[in-house]
A and B are shown apart, each in its own frame.
Chain A
Amino acid sequence: MLIKKPSDLRSLEITDKSLYMDRRKFIRSASVSLVGLAAGGSSLLRFTEETSAGVKLDGVRKSSLSTTETLNSPKDITTYNNFYEFGTDKYSPAQNAKSLIPRPWTLVVDGEVKRAKRFDIDELLKLSPLEERIYRLRCVEGWSMVIPWIGFPVSGLIKQVEPTSKAKFLELTTLLDPKQMPGQKSGVLDWPYVEGLRLDEAMHPLTILGVGLYGEVLPNQNGAPIRIVVPWKYGFKSVKSIVRIRFVEQQPMTAWMKATPSEYGFYSNVNPEVDHPRWSQARERRIGEFTKRKTLMFNGYADQVAQLYQGMDLRKYF
């Protein structure tokens, strides 16, 4: 449990949460209906139905860090999700994530930084040029996909807040609101979902804050409006719907480490030689393929990231 000092509390958190959420909902529905009335067209109504997914993101650059492998279809990527906040079944998030309100959205960046800051989602979108990053995603369960994310390197955000010399790790937290995220009413995990990265991992050029998918704004079930993508780690490290990034000195405790410490470690790098205690990680099923393929060290990103873990026993630091 996180016990905050009074000085850490912000006015947003002092305001009664349900009041605050209702206000948000009211503003959203009011503005949406106004816009809908004015436009009277179907394109904007689609916006209301699917929240913000379906909206094109402009000025997206290609990246040399993208893989040239065959992409998974938008349908696969948006209907097969592990997002326990919307149910533990992989087909549930696509059905249940409509209750998430991704706009307006504030990301708080604080902790061991010189300039703690609250970013509005639209401000974040303008922080750095948006890039398309086509990455492999390997789930700890033994399946994988190739996904065309849109986002920008986390390093861009980190530079803005100027971490102090004490900042060694980042603690990333998903929204906590059982009204928007009905799965949080169950005790499957200790909510909110928390993950962590070492500062150098977060600074790595491959690590991005994802805001889009397939040229459009991120669908709710994929972690709208902002998530992290760390392609050489198992998918659960890539936190969705982030509301807070805190820079800390000590290695943060993550949701999965809390749930099953013997099975989930802090690093969770994709590694075919280190099995999950209950199943092998040597192979994976690429969604859409019939046979299984061999899992690659660091999910195929060993050339770029292996030096981060030089001299470390990866069996111990799994």
Chain B
Amino acid sequence: MSFELKIRHSKFNILKASVFLACLSPLGLLALDAFRDNLGANPIEVITRSVGTWTLVFLLITLSVTPLRKLSGWNSLIKFRRMLGLFAFFYGALHFTTYIWLDQFFDLQGIVKDVMKRPFITVGFASFVLLIPLAITSTSGMIRRLGKRWQQLHRLVYGIAVGGVVHFLWLVKADITQPVVYGTILALLLTYRLLAAWSHRPRVAVRPQAHAAMPGERL
């Protein structure tokens, strides 16, 4: 029995390691393209946009874990959520770094002015700053220590994701296709949560007779 457990355990580790590598691959491909001088005429723009987009993608993937878990019944998906969330933070930190370094060249005054004056930067900046406490409190120790408050704190991620989409929407010149696609996915993920919360609302007056058949249960 212990042997079987061991195998299952190692299988899981291989899976986890594969997901980890997959999450790292966008950066790897970007680095490869940079090395091959394959980033086009404006490589800094490509790098900034790419890591920014991946931040948003990882935020959305992270927010998909719970709905996917509930819909598929595959509960071990939850074991990947922390890693996915931390990758959102990782790509966000890279995006933030390209801004501070390659766009502003550490000009603190310029950065402050930008954050105050440009709504798209204000929103992007705030969203990244709010990701920091979530990353810091992602350890098992912190989860234990914070108890109920951990979940309350980590609900910030909804606002952060909305901020990410708004940041994207406000920076494009005319073609809003991409931010609208991300916004739609986010809206679906948030709607799922609203529906789930609604179907689990305390019902005192009328007790449903066929509880198991309630559609909200398997949402």
Contacts and interface: CB of A to CB of B under 8 A. Distances in A.
Interface of A: 72, 75-76, 79-80, 84, 88, 90-91, 140-141, 143, 186, 188-189, 259-260, 278-280, 285, 287-288, 290-292
A285 B46 CA distance: 13
Nearest to B46: A91
B42 A80 contact: yes
9 contacts: A80-B41, A143-B45, A188-B174, A189-B174, A278-B120, A278-B170, A285-B42, A290-B102, A292-B105
A71 to B, nearest CB: 13
Interface in B31-71: 40-42, 44-45
Contact of B171 (A80, A260, A278): A278
B41 A75 contact: yes
Given A278-B119, A292-B105, A287 B41 contact: yes
B41 A76 contact: yes
A285 B102 CA distance: 10
Contacts of B103: 292
A79 B175 contact: no
A143 B174 contact: no
B118 A279 contact: yes
A273 B206 CA distance: 66
B174 A259 contact: yes
B44 A285 contact: yes
Given A278-B118, A279-B118, A280-B114, A260 B41 contact: no
Contacts of A278: 118-120, 170-171
B3 to A, nearest CB: 54
Given A88-B174, A279-B120, 11 more contacts: A72-B41, A79-B40, A79-B41, A80-B41, A80-B42, A88-B175, A91-B40, A278-B118, A280-B114, A285-B42, A290-B44
A183 B102 CA distance: 31
- Enumerate the 5 nearest inter-chain pairs by beta-carbon distance, A residue then B residue, closest first: A80-B41, A88-B175, A76-B41, A188-B175, A287-B41
B174 A84 contact: yes
A12 B119 CA distance: 48
Contacts of A279: 118, 120, 171
B207 interface: no
B203 interface: no
A128 B47 CA distance: 44
